[in-house]
Amino acid sequence: MITRVSGIGPVDAVFEAPPSKSYTHRALIAAALASGRSRITAPLRAADTELTAQGFESLGVPIEWRADEITVTGCGGVLPAQDEVTIDCGNSGTTLRMLTSVALLSRHPVVLTGSARMLERPIGSLASALQTLGGEVAFAGRQGFPPIRITGQLRGGKAEIDGSVSSQFISSILMAAPYAGEDVELTLPAPPASRSYIDVTADVMFRFGARLERRGYDWFRVKSGAAYRGRDYRIEGDYSSASYLFAVAAVCGGRVSVRGLNPASVQGDRRFIEALEMMGCRVTAGADAVTVERTGDLSGIDIDMSSSPDTVQTLAVVAATAASPTTITGIAHLQYKESDRAGVTAGILQRMGAGVQVTDDSLTVTPAPLHGVLVDPHDDHRTAMAFAVLGLAVGGMAIRDPGCVEKSFPGFWEALYGQGLL
C-alpha cells in the first residue's frame, strides 16, 4: 500500500498530543511488577506497547485494555508463569530489552526473540551486566544478539554497564532492580546514549514507590525491597510524536498548536521545539498547548541531539527547507534503531535533491530545491512520518507501507486528514 502526499500552503491547525510511548511502556512494567492493582489512564495503544503488555500476559500477569485505560493486576515481583515461556517482541526494542531483566523474576526460563531487524540489534552489554548480577543469558544465534534464553535470579550487587548503544540497557536493570535479592548498583564508564529516557524511567519508578539514588548518569543504586505499589497513573503526551505535528508548521509555514503536552516533562524530545526556535520559529508554551509558528525563512543551526534521538529525522527534514545548512551531532547510536536512520534519511534527502553528508556521529543537511520521491521507510515508523511531513511542503511524495506508523502513532494519518492536510 502507498499513501500519496501533496503539497499544501501555510497551515493553521490544532492537534491533540498522542500519549507517550516511553511512559506507557514503563508504567506497564511497574504496574505488572507491583503489589496490587493499577489503573493506567490515557495510555498509548500502539504496536510496541501492546507487545509489552502481551509479554507480561505470557508471563502470567493479567492485563485488561479498555477504551482509554489499562487495568493491571500486579504480581508483586514474582512472575507467575508456570513453565518456560517464549515471547516474540516483534520490532519493539523497548519490549525486548526491558523484558530481558524482568525475565529474571520468573521461576522458569524465558526466551525472547523478535523480527529479523530485532535480531540485528545488539544486547550483549545488557546480558553481561545481568550475568554479573546473578542471571544467565544464553544466545541462541549470534553472540551478543537475540534470540536469548534467560535463566537464574536477579541476585543484585554491583555491575558496570556500557550504555553507549542504548540507555534502555540501564533502564531495563533499574526497573527490575527493586526485586533483586540485594541492592543493585550500576556504574557507567561513559555517558549513555539517549540519556533523557533514563529520566523517564526514574520518574516512573519514583511514582510507583521505588527508591533510586543516582549521580548524574554515571552511577545508580536501587534499594532492594522498596517495591512498586499499585496506583492510578495518567500518561502524559508524547513530545517525539508531537514533533511531526510541529514540523508541519516549520516546513509549510503557518501555525500548529498541540494540546496535552506536559510543559515540565523530562522527555528529552522537548529539545525539538528548542531547535525549531533556534532556527527561527516562534514557540509559545502555555498551560494547555504548545504552539509553533513560522512566518519567515528558517536558518540552519549546529545542534547536539544525543538526548533526543527520536526527533533527529524530523529535524533533518525541517533542515532541508531552511535557508542555510544544519549539522546535527550526537547520532552515532541511530544505526541501532529500527533502521540505520541516519543512512536512510541521508539517502532519501539526496534523492529529493538536498545535499547531505553523514559521518559516524553527525548529519549535515544543505538545502537545495526539492522534489517528491517514493519513500520506502524500511518498516521504520519515524522515517514514514518525517517524510510524509516534508511531502506536505514539497508535494509529489509517496510513502510505501504507511501502516508502519502503528508502532508509535497509530492516529498519525487520521490526524493529518482531520485537519484537511491530506
- Asked if 7 and 51 sit in the same domain, the reply is no
- Asked if 208 and 242 sit in the same domain, the reply is no
- Asked if 329 and 186 sit in the same domain, the reply is no
Whether 155 has a pLDDT exceeding 80, the answer reads: yes
Residue 70, domain member (yes or no): yes
- Asked if 402 and 279 sit in the same domain, the reply is yes
| Band (336; pLDDT cuts 50, 70, 90) | low
Distance CA 390, CA 348 (A): 11
| Band (139; pLDDT cuts 50, 70, 90) | very high
pLDDT of residue 334: 67
Last residue within a domain, chosen from 188, 222, 256: 222
Tens-digit pLDDT profile for residues 222-236: 999 999 999 999 999
- Asked if 356 and 376 sit in the same domain, the reply is yes
pLDDT of residue 193: 79
Residue 230, domain member (yes or no): no
Neighbouring CB atoms inside 10 A of 67's CB total 5
Whether 289 has a pLDDT exceeding 80, the answer reads: yes
Residue 414, domain member (yes or no): yes
Domain range holding 47? 21-222
Average pLDDT over residues 35-49: 97
pLDDT of residue 332: 80
pLDDT of residue 391: 98
**111, 155 Cβ separation under 8 angstroms:** no
- Asked if 172 and 256 sit in the same domain, the reply is no
- Asked if 277 and 370 sit in the same domain, the reply is yes
Whether 363 has a pLDDT exceeding 60, the answer reads: yes
- Asked if 183 and 288 sit in the same domain, the reply is no
Residue with the three cell numbers 540507555: 167
Last residue within a domain, chosen from 197, 222, 247: 222
- Asked if 268 and 218 sit in the same domain, the reply is no
Residue 204, domain member (yes or no): yes
Integer angstrom CA distances of residue 348 from 6, 276, 391:
17, 22, 12
Average pLDDT over residues 93-97: 96
Q: Say which of 48, 310, 380, 401 is annotated catalytic.
A: 310
Task: Give the domain CATH number at 126.
Answer: 3.65.10.10
Q: All 3 cell numbers of residue 27?
A: 508504567
In sequence order, the 6+-apart residues with CB closer than 8 A to the CB of 43 are 19, 24, 27, 28, 49, 68, 69, 70, 235
Q: Which long-range contacts (CB under 8 A, 24 or more apart) does 63-67 make?
A: 63/28, 63/32
pTM for this structure? 0.94
| Band (299; pLDDT cuts 50, 70, 90) | very high
| Band (339; pLDDT cuts 50, 70, 90) | low
pLDDT of residue 194: 84
Whether 378 has a pLDDT exceeding 60, the answer reads: yes
How many domains does one find in the chain? 2
Tens-digit pLDDT profile for residues 171-222: 999 999 999 999 999 999 988 878 999 999 999 999 999 999 999 999 999 9
- Asked if 263 and 392 sit in the same domain, the reply is yes
The conformational region for residue 420 under phi > 0 = left, psi -120 to 50 = alpha, else beta, is left
In the residue annotation, 310 being an active-site residue is answered as yes
Residue 227, domain member (yes or no): no
- Asked if 414 and 320 sit in the same domain, the reply is yes
Paired with 283 in beta bridges are 292
Q: What is the mean pLDDT of the chain?
A: 95
Integer angstrom CA distances of residue 236 from 175, 232, 251:
19, 13, 26
- Asked if 206 and 275 sit in the same domain, the reply is no
In sequence order, the 6+-apart residues with CB closer than 8 A to the CB of 218 are 187, 188, 189, 191
Residue 232, domain member (yes or no): no
Whether 331 has a pLDDT exceeding 90, the answer reads: no
